[in-house]
Amino acid sequence: MVNFFTLVTGYPGASGYGSATTAEQVTEGIDASNLTAIVTGGASGIGLETARVLALRNAHVIIAARNMNAANEAKEMILKDNKSARIDVLKLDLSSLTSVRECANKFLALNLPLNILINNAGIMFCPFQLSEDGVELQFATNHLGHFLFTNLLLDKMKQTAKATGIEGRIVNLSSIAHLHTYPGGIRFDKINDEDGYSDKRAYGQSKLANVLHANELSRRLKGASTTCYVALHPQLKGETGKYYVDCNELEPYALAKDEELAKKLWEFSENLVNSATKLKQIN
C-alpha cells in the first residue's frame, strides 16, 4: 500500500515505483507489439503521454478524442519521435451518447483486436450545465460516456482475450477527488438538479463513479506512469478492481468500496443511457 507520505516525497512504494517514476521507467523492457489499446482523451495531458509511451513500447494505439485537430497533432508528434509508431485517431465526444456509439461502431468496423481500454478523458470543475442528453455535464462526460463506451467494447475485448490468450485490461482514471463528493456519494435523485450544485463536489462525484464503475465491472467480469503501469506491467497480472496511485495500490474512500452503491450506480447508469436513447428516438 502507498500512503500520503510517498505521494508527496515520491519515495517508492511496494511496487518499487512512486510519484517520481516516469511512464517510460515503469514500462522499460516491456514489448507490447501484440497489443492494441484505446486511450480516450489521448490528445493531451496524461492521455497523450500514455499514448506516446504505449506506442513507444510497440502497442497499436488508438487515440479517441473530441478535438480531431488536437488528436492529429498528437499523432504527428508521436510519429516525429517514433517513426515506427502505430497510431490511429477516432472522434469521441464523451458528453454525447450518440458520439460514443459512433466511435465504438467505427472502431469495431476496423476489425482490430482490443486488449487495453484506458478511460482517461474528462472535464473538471465546470459550471452547472446539462449534456445534449440532459445529464449533468461532469457526470455525463467523466462517467456515463465511459460507462457506455466500455459496455459497447466489452464483447470485442472478451473475443480478443479468448482468441489470443492475453488478459485484457480496462483502466478507469479517477483521482483523490473521489474523497470530496456529495453526502452519500452519488446524488441519484438529484443528478441533474442545479439546486445545491457544487462544481467541485460534482467532479468528486464523477471520480467516485469511476472507481465504483471499475469495481462493479470487475465483479461482473469474473474476469501517465500509473496508467501505463496498470495497463502493461506483468506484476499486475490477475489483479482487478483495485485503485492505484503513483503505481501503488491505495485504499480508496469507504464509499468507493461500497458494493451496493456500485450496483446502484450501474443500474442508474444503464437507465440513464436507455432513457436518453429512447428520448432521441422519439424526437
Which tens digit of pLDDT belongs to each residue from 213-222? 988 887 777 6
Catalytic residue among 17, 182, 197, 244: 197
The structure's pTM equals 0.81
Backbone angles phi, psi at 229, to 5 degrees: -60, -50
- Cell readout for 3 is 500512503
Please list the residues that pair with 40 across neighbouring strands.
Answer: 64
Active site residue 197: yes
pLDDT at 190: 94
- Are 222 and 173 contacting, i.e. CB atoms less than 8 angstroms apart? no
- Are 21 and 247 contacting, i.e. CB atoms less than 8 angstroms apart? yes
- Cell readout for 202 is 460534482
Helix, strand, coil share (%) of the chain residues, nearest 5: 50, 10, 35
**CA proximity to 117, closest of 83, 147, 97:** 147
pLDDT at 254: 79
Environment class of 277 (CB within 10 Å of its CB; exposed 0-12, middle 13-18, buried 19+): middle
- Amino acid at residue number 2: V
- Are 20 and 10 contacting, i.e. CB atoms less than 8 angstroms apart? yes
Please list the residues that pair with 249 across neighbouring strands.
Answer: 244
Contacts for 50 with CB less than 8 Å, ≥ 6 apart: 23, 39, 42, 118, 120, 224, 227, 228, 231
Alpha carbon distances (Å) from 154 to 27, 146, 159, 209, 265: 25, 12, 9, 19, 18
- The distance from CA 193 to its chain's CA centroid, rounded to whole angstroms, is 25
Q: List, in order of start, the domains of the chain with CATH numbers.
A: 27-282 (3.40.50.720)
**CA proximity to 135, closest of 281, 282, 269:** 269
Q: Which residues of the chain have pLDDT under 50?
A: 1-9, 224-225
